[in-house]
Chain A
Amino acid sequence: AVLKKRLVKLVVNFLFYFRTDEAEPIGALLLEHCRITKEEENVFSISFIEEPERKYCFECASEEQCQEWVEALKRASYEFLRRSLIFYRNEIQKMTGKDPLEQYGISEETRFQLGTHQQ
């Protein structure tokens, strides 16, 4: 496979990629239900749960940069953020007996519920 130089931008849960001299992205990857794998030196890959053999490979300028990206991409999904929120909410509730989301008026919001959401 040929490596092409791209400008890559992580914006919320999307990974955009650009040709280095263009302002509009060529494409984007939605980073949900994906696996970030450290491959050989300077290289990481992204694969998706519905097509695990297909890997999007990225070669970085250095091992350090590679680690940075792996860490950032592992935390990039909306679902990761949601799990963090539920976890912190639960922790705080255990420690204080109070639901920290009450002050924002969002404790009943479906997206923040522990366990399965209402359908």
Chain B
Amino acid sequence: MKLNERSLAFYATCDSPADNSGFLYKRGERHTAYHRRWFVLKGNMLFYFEERESREPVGVIVLEGCNVELCDSAEDFAFAIRFGGTKSRTYVLAAESQAAMESWVKSLSRASFDYMRLVVRELEKQLEEMRWGLAGGCGGSRESPGSCKPKQCPERLPALPTIPPKENGCAVWNNALGVGQPPDTSGCGGNDDEGTPRPPPLPPRRRVLNGEAVVESPSTFCQLHERYSREVARLRQDWLEKQRGPRP
């Protein structure tokens, strides 16, 4: 099967940080001798090189649908990467210490795309629940004007969930993008551990005034409410205008 090998090699050797790296002994396929190789784990790909300084990996193991387990072997600190399927082989590796073995087994077990996706979905769900308020304080319609892609945001950030309509004093603000970025997420006070509603959090958006960051503090709730409602109205207006396209 053809593979874009040059791209794989690039991914293996580029300076994006590795999730784990180190020397491991790898048992051969046909002969059971172990060969010491330099291993680099990036994402769901386990690359191995002949030497640490090698410019290209000699092989790669794609860590999807596999089990990582300790195994019986004459070799100390051995573990195996097992795949299902009749044609699949088992990769037997050995570390140079107990600590190294444990570190590798842990990082390899969590390397799959599926695992990552699971965790991301869970956090997405948590964030969504927090934004809408667990006690329904922000209630209202879940209908949104549609996907609002934050085009002004740095490209590396993923698109965030849509802006929900203003409802019961829910504010629209942005926690992560900092000064000058358009807000595109909303949040409401959730509940603290005792279940009593927390006051709406302070607007984290900082206005730069004379070169210094100034954090606005809310005074009364009415003033806060007023301020947010103006902000939301303005954002909705901007968004609607964008949808209509540039004016002639």
Interface residue ranges, A against B (CB under 8 Å): 12-14, 24-30, 32-34, 48-51, 75, 78-85, 87-92, 94-96, 100-101, 104, 106, 109-111, 116-119
B1 touches A27 (CB 8 A): yes
Is B204's CB under 8 angstroms from A88's CB? Answer: no
B3 at the interface (CB under 8 A from A): yes
- Structural contact, A51 and B6, CB atoms closer than 8 A: yes
**Do B11 and A95 touch (CB < 8 A)?**
no
Task: Tell me if B119 and A30 are in contact (CB < 8 A).
Answer: no
Contact at A109–B110, with CB atoms within 8 Å? yes
**Please, how many angstroms separate the alpha-carbon atoms of A109 and B116 in the complex?**
12
Give chain A residues whose Cβ lies under 8 Å from the Cβ of B11.
30, 32-33
The reply to whether B107 and A111 contact each other, CB–CB distance below 8 Å, is: yes
In the complex, B135 has a CB within 8 A of chain A: no
Check A30 against B4 for contact (C-beta < 8 Å).
yes
Q: Tell me if B20 counts as interface (CB < 8 A to partner A).
A: yes
Stretch at the interface among B121-129, B209-217, B232-240: B121-129
Contact of B158 among A24, A87, A111 (CB under 8 A): A87
* Interfacial residues, chain B to chain A (CB-CB below 8 A): 1-4, 6-8, 10-11, 14, 16-21, 43-45, 62, 64, 106-107, 110-114, 116-117, 119-120, 123-124, 126-127, 130, 156-158, 175-176, 185, 187, 190, 201, 204
Closest A residue to B114 using CB positions: A12
CB pair A32 B7 closer than 8 Å = yes
Closest residue to B60 on the A side, CB-wise? A30
Nearest Cβ distance between residue B213 and chain A, in whole angstroms? 16
Q: Do A89 and B17 touch (CB < 8 A)?
A: no
**How far, in whole Å, are A61 and B171 apart by their CA atoms in the complex?**
42
B39 CB → nearest A CB, Å: 13
One of B4, B45, B110 near A111 (C-beta < 8 A): B110
B158 touches A110 (CB 8 A): no
Does the CB pair B158–A83 fall under 8 Å? yes
